[in-house]
Structure formats: C-alpha cells, structure tokens
C-alpha cells in the first residue's frame, strides 16, 4: 500500500477533528453569549454577519435560473432551518451543552425516517432497529417522569426535526443546482426568515455581542468548509466516527468552563444515538447506497 493511499484517511480524520473544534467553538460562544441577546435576534445577527462569506457564491446564484418549484423548495428549507436555528439558540440558554449536543444527533435519525416516507428509500429491519435504539437514547436523555423536561429540551427535539427537513430538501436540490446555490440560498432565506422574528424581540446589541456573533459565523463557516475537505479526503465511514468526539468535548467544556455537572444518563443516551447513526452509516456504505443520512455536522447552524 502506497503512502498516498494511507495518508488520505489520516487527512480526512485531521480535517474532521478541525471541523469538530470549529463547531465546539460555535457552541461555546453561543453559550457564553447567554440569554442577554434573545435567541431570534442572536440567530439573525449570526446569519446577517455571515453573509460576508457568501460573496463568492453571488455569481452562481444570479446565474441559476430557478424554477417556481425550486424557489418553493428553497423557501421550505429556509422556513424549516429558520425555526430550527432559533430553537437551537434558545436551547443553548436553557439546558447544558452536553444535552444540546447529544440531542442534536437525532437529526440523522429523523432524516432516515423522512427518506423512507418522502424519498422512497427502503427501511430494512436492521435500520428500523437502529432508529428505535436512537429514539430510546433520546428517552434516556430526557427521562420523562424522572426529571423535569423543560422548554430547552422541547426546543432541541424541534430543532432536530427542522434540520432533518432542511437536509432532505437539500438532498433533492443538490441534484438540480450547484452546491454554491444550495448553500447560498439557505443563508439568504434564513436571514430573511429571521429578520421579523428578531425585530419582534430586538434589544440593542453591544459591540462585544456583535464580535461574538461574528466569531460564531466565522467558526460555523470554517467548520462547514473543513468538513467538505474531510469528505473529499476519506470515506464517510472513516470521518463519521470522529464527529462523535464532539460529545466528549461538549461534556468537558460544560464541566470545566461553564460549571455544568456531568450527567451519566446524558452520556449513555448520547452513546446509544451515536451507535445507531454509526450503524446506519456503515450499512449504507456496505450496500453502496447513495448516502441520505447526514453526518452530524451537516445539520449545524
């Protein structure tokens, strides 16, 4: 085996580690920002400030002759992602980082269900079992009846569903237009969708708040870019397991920086969800099917 052959997976793992670091930085900054900026306003400013990164995508977007159907699908994705982002920002102010991270892993599971319902993908018995295991993991995290399930937990459940809807639409559109158009239209539609929600709860942000949110936009953009580098360098079955280190970093971050207690049930539930997603990803690779289930990072803000 040549050195080049062995080096590519290592490069993929490296870029996925960088990706995880970027998204953990996003989580830490939003947690640090806290509730002093309303969730809708914080999400709007993150996307508004991030529009500067769309400059290379303007020309492809202008050249794309989108049909009414395509515009409608992009609008649907924008609405779904808008609501999901607001709920994610809100959840970050209400529940520990580890719980937000673990529950965010549910998005690929919902995508698997949605792909079977709306895209005609077959759900074999093994994948059904994996979905059930993942949902059991969510129940372990929430533990209804044994602990208080607050609005932050409900927001994250809705976030996972919203991101799954957005991803399914993105899969449809990726066959019809360029990736630049798919990414650019998401940023534009979400910024527009967040504007009235932000206006309704607007409070004047400080310069420090704006700097934090610009850093959030920068790390999120960098994370999505390095994720594409990871996918180009190695198969998803190599890079996917690395994404789950984010749960480890989230637990440590919450414990060391934000004085959040380590909840063993959250870790156990998160590991069940991770195991289910890993199995689904592995099965799709073995069967050489077109990947429908996203990596965890694909649904980030």
Q: What is the pLDDT of residues 2-58, one digit of tens each?
A: 444 444 778 888 988 898 889 889 999 999 998 889 999 999 999 999 988 888 888
The rounded distance, in Å, linking the Cα atoms of 54 and 224 is: 13
pLDDT tens figures, 62-95: 888 888 999 999 999 999 999 999 999 999 999 9
| Predicted pLDDT of residue 3 | 43
User: What percent of the chain is predicted at pLDDT more than 70?
Assistant: 90
Determine the pLDDT at residue 288: 56
Distance between CA 295 and CA 159 in Å, rounded? Answer: 16
CA distance 247 to 24: 9
**284 band by pLDDT with thresholds 50, 70 and 90:** low
Please state, in angstroms and rounded to a whole number, the distance separating the CA atoms of residues 58 and 54: 7
Position 294 pLDDT exceeds 60: yes
**Residues in the chain, total:** 301
- Residues 195-220: what's their mean pLDDT? 95
Answer whether residue 207 shows pLDDT above 80. yes
Task: Please state the rounded mean pLDDT for residues 222-248.
Answer: 78
- In the numeric block, the tokens 């049909």 are attached to 67
Task: Give yes or no for residue 285 having a pLDDT over 80.
Answer: no
The larger pLDDT score, comparing residue 230 to residue 71, is at: 71
Taking the C-alpha atoms of residue 266 and residue 282, their distance in angstroms, rounded to an integer, is 24
The tally of CA atoms less than 13 A away on the side-chain side of residue 243 is: 31
pTM for the full predicted model? 0.83
Percent of the chain with pLDDT over 90: 31
* pLDDT, position 300: 64
Question: At 1, is the pLDDT very low, low, confident or very high (cuts 50, 70, 90)?
Answer: very low
Mean pLDDT of all residues in the chain?
A: 84
In whole angstroms, what is the distance from residue 66 CA to residue 56 CA? 19
Average pLDDT over every residue of 229-247: 75
Q: Which of the pair, 177 or 5, is modelled with greater confidence?
A: 177
Q: Which two tokens stand for residue 17?
A: 């580690």
Residue 237 pLDDT exceeds 70? no
Q: Compute the average pLDDT of residues 208-223.
A: 93
* Average pLDDT value for residue range 252-280: 87
Q: Which residue has the higher pLDDT, 122 or 53?
A: 53
């Amino acid at each position: 085996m040549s050195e080049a052959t062995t080096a590519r997976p290592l490069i993929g793992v490296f870029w996925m580690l960088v990706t995880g670091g970027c998204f953990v930085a996003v989580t830490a900054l939003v947690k640090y920002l806290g509730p002093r900026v309303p969730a809708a306003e914080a999400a709007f400013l993150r996307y508004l400030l991030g529009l500067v990164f769309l400059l290379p995508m303007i020309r492809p977007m202008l050249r794309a002759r989108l049909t009414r159907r395509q515009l409608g699908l992009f609008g649907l994705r924008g609405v779904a992602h808008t609501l999901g982002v607001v709920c994610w920002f809100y959840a970050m102010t209400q529940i520990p980082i580890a719980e937000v991270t673990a529950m965010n892993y549910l998005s690929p599971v919902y995508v698997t269900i949605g792909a079977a319902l709306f895209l005609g993908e077959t759900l074999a018995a093994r994948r059904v079992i994996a979905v059930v295991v993942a949902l059991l993991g969510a129940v372990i995290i929430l533990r209804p009846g044994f602990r208080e399930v607050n609005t932050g937990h409900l927001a994250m459940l809705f976030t996972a569903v919203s991101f799954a809807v957005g991803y399914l639409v993105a899969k449809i559109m990726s066959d019809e237009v360029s990736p630049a158009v798919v990414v650019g239209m998401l940023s534009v539609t979400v910024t527009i969708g967040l504007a009235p929600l932000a206006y309704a709860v607007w409070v004047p942000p400080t310069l420090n708040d704006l700097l934090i949110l610009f850093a959030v936009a920068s790390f999120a953009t960098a994370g999505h870019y390095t994720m594409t580098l990871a996918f180009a360098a190695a198969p998803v079955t190599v890079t996917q397991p690395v994404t789950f280190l984010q749960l480890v970093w989230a637990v440590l971050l919450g414990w060391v920086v934000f004085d959040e207690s380590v909840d063993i049930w959250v870790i156990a539930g998160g590991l069940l969800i991770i195991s289910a997603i890993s199995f689904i990803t592995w099965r799709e690779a073995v069967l050489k099917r077109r990947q429908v289930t996203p990596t965890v990072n694909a649904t980030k803000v």
